[in-house]
Structure 1
């Protein structure tokens, strides 16, 4: 497994996963404690949807989706923390 390709797949999917998780969170009122698992599941699902368009094997895309879901979850938490800190300064 080429890690460079895997990271590129994951980085490409992070923005999409973050956007879809945000839409799902607002639409279905998902509690914050379930957002990381939701992000991982959505990351894997998006990777499976994109898989026929890629040249990578299935397991490669699943791992890329998993990494993208974890990264999207961390990105959301980081942005939320930055938003709170900016609110404290006002």
Structure 2
């Protein structure tokens, strides 16, 4: 039973990760956001996507939250969570990183 639940969560992460990745890319191109906040924003969008997907799955709220956080972490790449980054996501042409 636990193995089946884990498979559902991983499948759900796989399904919403491209959505989270796409939204993050659009936000990075459209807005000037400090680069060190992008992973946090990705986790937040993944969390929202997991919670908002209740009509499409019969998973409990807690499992959808875990799947959303997992999708958010995969949306930016887990390594970026600990990487020190400076600058902004959208640079003006005369600014340097």
Give the TM bin, normalised by the shorter chain: 0.7 to 0.9
Aligned residue-pair number = 76
**Aligned runs of 1:1-40 on 2, under 5 Å?**
1=2, 2-40=5-43
Q: Normalization by structure 1: what TM-score?
A: 0.77
Q: Post-superposition, which runs of at least 4 consecutive aligned residues in structure 1 deviate over 2 A?
A: none
Unaligned 5+ segments in structure 1 are 78-90
Structure 2 residue aligned with 1:53: 56
Look at both structures and tell me which one has the larger radius of gyration over its CA atoms: 2
| CA distance in 2: counterparts of 1:21 and 1:51, whole angstroms | 21
Aligned Cα root-mean-square deviation (Å): 1.5
Q: Normalization by structure 2: what TM-score?
A: 0.72
Unaligned 5+ segments in structure 2 are 81-97
Structure 1 residue aligned with 2:66: 63
